[in-house]
Structure 1
């Protein structure tokens, strides 16, 4: 099984406003994008387990023309709150890099 880091040329996480986090998976080409775009490994259940979010609220948006998959979920606490550990959500992607894709 291929890991995310092996089939994506770039993975990033970032704020999508003060209440959401977005992950962008830039696949290394159209072939791997088509192969893994709908992978059940990048499921709402994964984001619930890793980031403590409600899986029913996870959004998955494939962008075929760019070979990108965007996945967004609501933040546990608003950006900049007392419990904040990563204000810009720029470090959240690290947990995803070793996920094996089906």
Structure 2
């Protein structure tokens, strides 16, 4: 089984302000970029339990990059915030199996 992280140079997540998370898929090449084209709002919503209507996906084919943003489940630094910098949010996406395998 091939995962997104197997095809990527880097998969990372970070804060996009205190209320949003951004995840970035830096794919190795155009083939890897095409392989992750199945990642859409529905898949992200299922992985992160967020409303698909709040998810923003930006695709940059010339750089083989996919950027995904959605509201944080709790605001940064709040009492229930378990990942202050959103540095671990990318893991479920990175471990997602690429279709066709």
TM tier, smaller: 0.7 to 0.9
Could you say what the CA RMSD is over the residues aligned between the two structures, in angstroms? Answer: 1.5
* Mapped contact 2:36–2:98 kept (Cα < 8 A): no
Unaligned runs of 5+ in 2: none
TM-score (norm 1): 0.86
Q: Please state how far the C-alpha of 1:81 moved relative to its aligned partner.
A: 0.8
Matches within 5 A, 1:4-43: 4-33=4-33, 35-39=34-38, 42-43=39-40
Matches within 5 A, 1:9-88: 9-33=9-33, 35-39=34-38, 42-88=39-85
Flag the structure with higher helix content.
1
How many residue pairs match? The answer is 99
Unaligned runs of 5+ in 1: none
Please list every run of at least 4 consecutive aligned residues from structure 1 whose deviation after the TM superposition is greater than 3 angstroms: none
State how far apart, in whole Å, the 2-side matches of 1:89 and 1:9 are: 19
* Mapped contact 1:3–1:98 kept (Cα < 8 A): yes
State how far apart, in whole Å, the 2-side matches of 1:91 and 1:37 are: 20
